[in-house]
Amino acid sequence: MTADAVTDAVTATATVTDAETDATPDHGTYEKLTALLDERGAAYRVIEHAPEGGTEAVSALRGHTLAEAAKCIIAMVKIGKKEKRFALVVVPGDRRIDLNAVKALYGGTYVSFASPEIAEDLAGSPSGTILPFAFDERLELLVDPALLTHGEFYFNAARLDRSIALSSEDYRAIAEPRVERVSTD
């Protein structure tokens, strides 16, 4: 084999390896979550299922009501002309986020959903898998009290193919969310 052929073979192998690495999902946020739950002795179960990010569809796969699912969305609130804040808003799956309530909590002048790119960056996971935990210091965690009325609730665990059923009591103790009415029927 010539030197050029060896170089071509090494380059082809490196390219395949890079492509395979890019196709492999990063599960760092999932691992960070499960390590935190284990460290704190939380009562939780991991549920494996077909990849799904929609609240209704994944709730059916997991076998629970929509009210027991955590719908997690990142909102951007403008406060005046130069300041903006991001909130990780968590509501039951059978409700919608009340953006006006979120805006009022911050005394904001404008509120919207964060762009998918910003949301995924702040959450550390793709849309449809955002956790009800704020691991990024730029996020404030707002949780609707209706979600916490259940003994446990369910959410995609930073992966489309894995969910967690977590004790509501343990969640409150570990995540320390700001509990506010931020949903509407």
CA gap 109, 78 in Å, rounded = 6
pLDDT tens profile 107-141: 999 999 999 999 999 999 999 999 999 999 999 99
Q: Identity (one letter) of the amino acid at 143?
A: V
pLDDT tens profile 11-55: 333 333 333 333 345 679 999 999 999 999 999 999 999 999 999
User: How is 87-145 classified by DSSP, letter by letter?
Assistant: EEEEEETTSEE-HHHHHHHHT-SEEEEPPHHHHHHHHTS-TT---SS--STTEEEEE-G
pLDDT tens profile 46-82: 999 999 999 999 999 999 999 999 999 999 999 988 9
